[in-house]
Structures are given as structure tokens and as C-alpha cells.
Amino acid sequence: MGKYLCKRCGKEFNQKSHFDTHCKKKIPCKDINKVISNLVKSEVNEQVKLLVPQFGELSKTLTSKLDKKTKKSKGIFFTPYNIIKQSCDIVFEYCAQNNIQITDILEPSCGSCEYIKYLDNITENVNIDGIEYDDTIYENIKSLKFRNTVNLMKMDYLKHEVERMYDLIIGNPPYFVVKQSDVKKEYKQFYDGRPNMFVLFIIHSLSKLKEGGLISFILPKSFCNCLYYNKIRSHINENFTIVDICDFSKESYLETAQDTIMLFIHNKPGENNDYIYNNNGNILFNTPENIKHIKRLYDNSTNLKDLNLSVKVGNTVWNQCKDILTDDSKFTRLIYSGDIKNNNLELTEYKNDEKKNYIMAKGEMEPVLVVNRGYGVGTYNLNYSIIDLDHEYLIENHLIIIKSDDNLSKEELISKFNMITKSFDDKRTEEFIQLYCCNSALNTTELQTVLPIYL
């Protein structure tokens, strides 16, 4: 047995100098008590999943009743029991530790009332408001009975303007893109690009909290980093305390594979450094463990913008210029994302006869670096190639083009691109993409300013 014991991680040392060095490490050792606690919680949650049905009969019935188009257009996907239990238990454990009284609760997208049923079982003498927009769902829940005072309303939550404020707003808001024209003018200051309904739910809910009130929402993981939502993340960081962020990626939903997190915030200013990383004004949210990892991945890195490299999407849409596509190699080469294989450029013969490899249009000769944009939802893999041809080319719009803004010789340009591709191959880049991208791809702004480059 060693003479010196680290009470944090349990490691033993024979020499005091080794023990002192261990204690002074920039990145502290793991707290063994927290590790054990997390392992116990994880095992308990796994056993709960095995022993308790994750979806009530009403949720299953409504899932089969509603057609796919309705579920997709309204973002209707019911929350598994394990997520409901964990999110509610975290909230009420925090309330008990901080002597917070919960009297008025709102579930703004109550669906089959699974959240309300759980809340009704663990609380006494509270008022619970539940809002549901869909007619079919509301007709199936309006007669449900509860122990507490529960008021179920059929309405559009974003038009819920009653004066009552809430101690707790909790639930799993719908996820779907809405038209800009359908969004209140005052909400537009909190996001960029296409508005998603879950972001509007967050914005509306912030205004309905009592002083010291709490919000616990199940959200897509993309909320943590997507540039569209940076303004609302910044607003939350500056005006609220982030109590917890939990990663629920391992949980399963009915009929969707959406990765989710729980965002739990307190309506009071606070220090959020454990849950945020400020990347030149882009506020990233994540779990404390992942934030530490992200900070380490940014150490000693730069980005494409600081290296004077511009990033844009290829400007040729092949199916909009079919009349000038050709198989004749004397014309300009049209480079598709499918031509980039194992980080090399190949000439691909496509099954679609209309998709041809050459185009009767003026092209470019300067070397560039191209990166795939990625498609839909799923794991994003960084696939790239340096384009250095002895004839003209154009880039199709499913590839991203990286160009130098400096006046470099061809040799200098290729050398610079080789440094970038070496960074793309760095193991840290893969780790960053796994943490940052969640289940989406990098856009041009993220590729230029967010992705760390290691030189």
C-alpha cells in the first residue's frame, strides 16, 4: 500500500513528489465517488427500462391512430418512460436540495399525458396545466382522471396568453420547421435561419416563468451547437442558470431515431462554465464531461478563417442544367460528391443516365480543396479531396469548396491544402466531429470558423 492516497480518484503513491505532481495536474483526476454514483444511476436506469414498459397503452394507440404525415408535420413523437422519470427526478431532487416549492406546473405539449401522469404520482397539492394542439390526441385525453388539480386545454401553446406564471415548465416540445411568416416578430431576435417549433416553445416558455422558476425540456442534440440557435443559447447563458444537461442519445422513441438531450434551467443569473464553451461568440452547450473534452480539442488549434481560407458551396446544380451535360471529355469536368472516394477524386459512372461527368460551361483551373456536405440525419464523416487538374472543372452543389484568399503559387497552395488534410486526418478532428455534429453535418460557416485545425 502506498504512503500517499489521492482521496479524489483513489490512486496510491509511494513518493510525495509523484503525489504532488498528480494533485497539481491541469486536468484533475476523476472523482471516484462521482464515477461510482454515475455507474449506479446508469445501471438503475437500465433495469428500469427492462422492468417498466417505456410507453403506455395510450401512447401506443395514438401512435398507430395518427398517420405518418400528421406525426411528421406536427412533430408528434411520444416520450419514453425512462426519460420522463430521469428528467422529473432530476428536477425534484434539485428542488429538494434548494428548498424550491413547486405549486404551478405547465406541460405545454402534453400529448398522451405521460409526463402529467408521472408528475401527478410524485407530487401533492399542485396545479398542472396541460396543453395539446392535436384534435385526435385531445379527444383521447380530455377525460383522464388525476389526483392533483389538472387542467387540460386544447389550443396552440404559442397563443397561450393567460396571466398565470409557472414554477415549472416541463416536457418534450415538438420538433419541426415552421414558416417565418408564422412566427411572432418579437421571437425572431432569438434565432437565425429556419425557425424550429421547439425553439419557439423555449422562447415562449421563458416569458411564462415565475422569478426563480424552472424549465426542463427534452430537445434535439442539435440545439447544443447549431448556429441557427446561437442567439437563444446566448440569451439563456446570460440570463439563466443551467442546472443540468443530460445526454439521452441511448434512449429510444417510437418511430424516430432522434438523439436528444435534457436542458434544465433556473430563472436566475448564474455561472454556467461547466455547461458552455464560447467559441468566438458561438456559445456551445453540452454536458460537463463533453465541455471539458471540447475545450481540450480546441487547445493549440486554429481555423480555416484565420488561415485566410474561404469556404462556399459548389455552385453547379446538375439537375438544373441537364441540357448542357455531356459525356464528351473535351468539355469541363463536373465534380460530384460521389466522385470523392476514400479522400481521392475518381471518375464515377452513375446509374442515372442523365447524370454526366462533363458540362458545356466555362470552368476553373485553380487547385481547391473540396469537402462533402453530408446528407440528412446520421453520422457525419469528413470526406475530402484536393482538386488539382490539368483541365477546367466545376463543383456540384453537394460539395463544399475551400479556397485560399492569399495570392499563392500552385505549389504553395497545394502545400497549404496538404496541411489542412493532415489536420482532417488527425484523430482529434474525428473526436470533435462526433461531439459537435451529433446527428447532422457541418455547414460552410462551421467548417470555416468552428472546426479546429491542427498544424
Tell me the C-alpha distance between 215 and 76, whole Å. Answer: 20
Cell 468552428 belongs to residue: 450
Cell 469528413 belongs to residue: 382
Residue 263 and residue 285 in contact, taking contact as beta carbons nearer than 8 Å: yes
pTM of the model: 0.80
Q: Within a 10 A sphere around the Cβ of 185, how many other Cβ atoms?
A: 6
Q: What pLDDT is attached to residue 251?
A: 67
Residue 354 and residue 413 in contact, taking contact as beta carbons nearer than 8 Å: no
Q: What pLDDT is attached to residue 13?
A: 75
- Could you list the pLDDT tens digit for every one of the 455 residues in the chain? 567 777 777 777 777 777 778 877 767 777 766 655 565 455 545 554 444 455 556 555 555 555 566 545 555 566 788 889 999 999 999 999 999 999 999 999 988 889 999 999 999 999 999 999 888 888 888 989 999 999 999 999 998 887 889 999 999 999 989 999 999 999 999 999 989 999 999 999 999 999 999 999 999 999 999 999 999 999 999 999 999 999 988 765 544 557 899 999 999 999 999 999 999 899 999 999 999 999 999 999 999 999 999 999 999 999 999 999 999 999 999 999 999 999 999 999 999 999 999 999 999 999 999 999 876 555 678 899 999 999 999 999 999 999 999 999 999 999 999 999 999 999 999 999 988 886 678 899 999 999 999 99
Q: What pLDDT is attached to residue 214?
A: 99
Which residue, 220, 124, 125, 131, is CA-closest to 170? Answer: 131
Q: What pLDDT is attached to residue 255?
A: 47
The full 3-state SS of the chain, as one line of letters, equals CCCEECCCCCCEECCHHHHHHHHCCCCCCCCHHHHHHHHHHHHHHHHHHHHCCCCCHHHHHHHHHCCHHHHHHHCCCCCCHHHHHHHHHHHHHHHHHCCCCCCEEEECCCCCCHHHHHHHHHCCCCEEEEEECCHHHHHHHCCCCCCCEEEEEECCHHHCCCCCCEEEEEECCCCCECCHHHCCHHHHHHCCCCCEHHHHHHHHHHCCEEEEEEEEEEEEHHHHCCHHHHHHHHHHHHHCEEEEEEECCCCCECCECCCEEEEEEECCCCCCCCCEEEECCEEEECCHHHHHHHHHHHCCCECCCCCCEEEEECCECHHHCHHHEECCCCCEEEECHHHEECCEECCCCCCCCCCCCEECCCCECCCEEEEECCCCCCCCCCCEEEECCCCCEEEECCEEEEEECCCCCHHHHHHHHHHHHHHHCCHHHHHHHHHHHCCCCCCHHHHHHCCCECC
Residue 173 and residue 198 in contact, taking contact as beta carbons nearer than 8 Å: yes
Q: What pLDDT is attached to residue 61?
A: 55
Q: What angle do CA 40, 42, 43 make, to 5 degrees?
A: 65
| Total residue count of the chain as it appears in this document | 455
Tell me the C-alpha distance between 278 and 209, whole Å. Answer: 26
Which residue, 364, 446, 373, 443, is CA-closest to 403? Answer: 364
Domains of the chain in start order, with CATH, are 48-292 (3.40.50.150), 309-449 (3.90.220)
Which residue, 329, 440, 304, is CA-closest to 390? Answer: 329
Which residue type is seen at 140?
N
Which residue, 90, 106, 18, is CA-closest to 245? Answer: 90
Q: What pLDDT is attached to residue 286?
A: 96
Q: What pLDDT is attached to residue 74?
A: 52
Q: What pLDDT is attached to residue 57?
A: 60
Q: What pLDDT is attached to residue 39?
A: 55
Cell 439537375 belongs to residue: 319
Tell me the C-alpha distance between 125 and 394, whole Å. Answer: 68
Residue 128 and residue 151 in contact, taking contact as beta carbons nearer than 8 Å: yes
Tell me the C-alpha distance between 174 and 197, whole Å. Answer: 6
Tell me the C-alpha distance between 351 and 349, whole Å. Answer: 7
Tell me the C-alpha distance between 90 and 396, whole Å. Answer: 48
Largest CA distance in the chain: 81
Q: How far apart are the first and last CA of the chain?
A: 44
Q: What pLDDT is attached to residue 250?
A: 73
